Amino acid sequence: MGRRKLVVGNWKMNGLRAQLGEVEAIGAAAAAHPSVEVGLCLPATLIASAQAVSGAAFVGAQDCHMKDSGAHTGCLSAAMLAEAGASWTIVGHSERRQDQGESDADVAAKALAAKAAGLKVILCVGESLDVRDAGNAEAVVSAQLLASLPDGAAADWLAIAYEPIWAIGTGRIPTMEAVEAMHRALRTALGGRIGAADAGGMRILYGGSMNGDNAAELMAIEDVDGGLVGGASLTAAKFAPVIAAAG
């Protein structure tokens, strides 16, 4: 449907200046696949220095605060991240929903704050293993998406990442049929909120143990428009094959 594949690395709490060479090499891999939009969501401390060497790969953040400024010790506003060189940010990653207790409403507010600062947004959703085993993952994740979706959600500034929590960092992934069914369900849910045409243009990424061995099969699924990649994005050697699989 004309959706450009989006492949983004999430370095989580990994990366020092010693890893800037990997950023540069990932930028070169991105340049070799111009049909794919490639980025790295990095620790905030690396954003400015990475931006200077990342070439064809954009640099993003992993979270932002929902407020513009104020007494929030240790937090970073979207404008600060944009000024440092971020052009995107993740919001609502399951690790923050769990570790920092972020609610769906918080996630929607963060997405709006990011947009106001000119950042594009990857909004994460995904089910626990209990929910998957109970057999109602599509309904639960669709509801989570609609509750987290900011007003004015549109494909030109927002992408969705479906990340089953039990697949993150475990080497386990859902069956291809389950991924296909979930992405179709999420697009249908989006369509009910923003209209089928706009939902048809929005990118829905898969995340959770994506790597060079499984990326091509995952990204060949009709409604899978790219990937949000953790462990396999930390080096160019591992991430370049994922980028290539999207191209």
Task: State the binding site for substrate.
Answer: 10-12, 169, 209, 230-231
- 229 in contact with ligand 13P (CB under 6 A): yes
Residue 93: active-site member: yes
Expressed in percent and rounded to 5, the helix, strand and coil fractions of the chain are 45, 15, 40
The DSSP code for 187 is H
CA distance 118 to 134: 39
- Here's the x/- map for ligand 13P, 171-210, by CB under 6 A: it reads as ------------------------------------xxxx
Nearer to ligand 13P (CB atom), residue 158 or residue 229: 229
- 149 in contact with ligand 13P (CB under 6 A): no
- Here's the x/- map for ligand 13P, 4-43, by CB under 6 A: it reads as ------x---------------------------------
- 89 in contact with ligand 13P (CB under 6 A): no
Nearest alpha carbon to residue 223 among 198, 188, 247, 195: 188
DSSP string computed for 90-141:
EE--HHHHHHS---HHHHHHHHHHHHHTT-EEEEEE---HHHHHHT-HHHHH
Instruction: Identify the H or E element spanning 40.
Output: strand 37-41
| Window of 111-119, 131-139, 198-206, 225-233 that interacts with ligand 13P by CB under 6 A | 225-233
Closest contact distance (angstroms) between CB of 90 and ligand 13P is 7
CA distance 99 to 108: 18
Q: Which residue is catalytic, options 33, 65, 93, 183?
A: 93
Contacts to ligand 13P by CB under 6 A:
10, 93, 163, 168-169, 207-210, 228-232
